[in-house]
């Protein structure tokens, strides 16, 4: 876990919002078109759905998702020409433990 990458990724309001939206997919996104193919990737959200929610260009959201993925906060899976993202819970657990250890 690279704490600097994580905190840099979260220093942007939209990237932080994306991460928060991904914590409750049903409340924040419409039904995903490939939901039936996502059985091994539950709570995956298509880049286009994230773009629609954020109201930013596809290239901006795509670059934001690369930053979040590089920080280990999300993981992705491609289905056909679509890329789906979801929270990488293991990183959030490790980050939470690190914060508790160093700031509690």
Q: Map residue 87 onto helix, strand or coil.
A: strand
3-state helix, strand, coil in the chain (%, to 5): 60, 15, 30
pLDDT of residue 104: 79
pLDDT tens digits, one per residue of 14-55: 999 999 999 999 999 998 887 777 778 888 999 999 999 999
Average pLDDT, the chain: 93
Domains of the chain and CATH, by start: 3-103 (1.10.10.10)
Write the pLDDT tens digit of every residue in 52-73.
Answer: 999 999 999 999 999 999 999 9
pLDDT at 95 exceeding the cut of 90: yes
């Amino acid at each position: 876990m690279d704490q600097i990458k994580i905190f840099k990724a979260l220093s942007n309001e939209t990237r932080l919002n994306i991460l928060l939206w991904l914590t409750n997919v049903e409340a924040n996104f419409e039904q995903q078109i490939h939901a039936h193919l996502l059985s091994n990737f539950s709570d995956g959200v298509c880049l286009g759905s994230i773009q629609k929610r954020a109201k930013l260009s596809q290239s901006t959201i795509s670059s934001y998702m690369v930053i979040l993925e590089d920080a280990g906060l999300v993981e992705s899976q491609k289905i056909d020409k679509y890329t789906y993202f979801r929270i990488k819970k293991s990183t959030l657990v490790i980050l939470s433990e690190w914060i508790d250890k160093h700031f509690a």
